[in-house]
Amino acid sequence: MQVDFPFHLDALRRTAVTDEDDHLRDLIEQVLFTAPGERVNRPDFGSGLEQLIFGPSSPTVASSVQGTVQGALQQWLGDRILVEAVEVASKDGVLRVTIQFTKIRNRQRQVTVLEREVET
């Protein structure tokens, strides 16, 4: 069991825990939605995804965003997952990121979808 993210207490007022799959999803979310410079002791952590989506839309920008996300995941979670595909879409103030990956520990393939409302 791992500490759940974001940190909170469970019904028994103990630190909430979660299973391995949910913990991995939490780690992916932290990498994607943390802006570089946001963490004091690790200023290069994160992907800056939310800032990237506000640029002009074009196939080149979309490709760049996907590459940046994939690179950040490989940099920070490369010892846990092998990223196979990333799809990023922004519509009606909601950012949707779909990641297909293989867990290195057991070679299990997974797809996770993260959504976050963004300020427009």
Q: pLDDT for 36-46, tens place per residue?
A: 889 899 999 98
List, for residues 4-14, the tens digit of each pLDDT value. Answer: 888 889 999 99
Average pLDDT for 9-23:
91
Burial 24-40 (b: 16+ CB within 10 A, else e): bbbbbbbbbbbeeeeee
Averaged pLDDT of the chain: 85
Count of helix runs (H) and strand runs (E) in the chain: 3, 5
Higher pLDDT, 60 or 108: 108
Q: How many Å apart are CA 89 and CA 98, to the nearest integer? A: 9
Please state which CATH number belongs to domain 2-117.
Answer: 3.10.450.40
Spans of all domains in the chain: 2-117
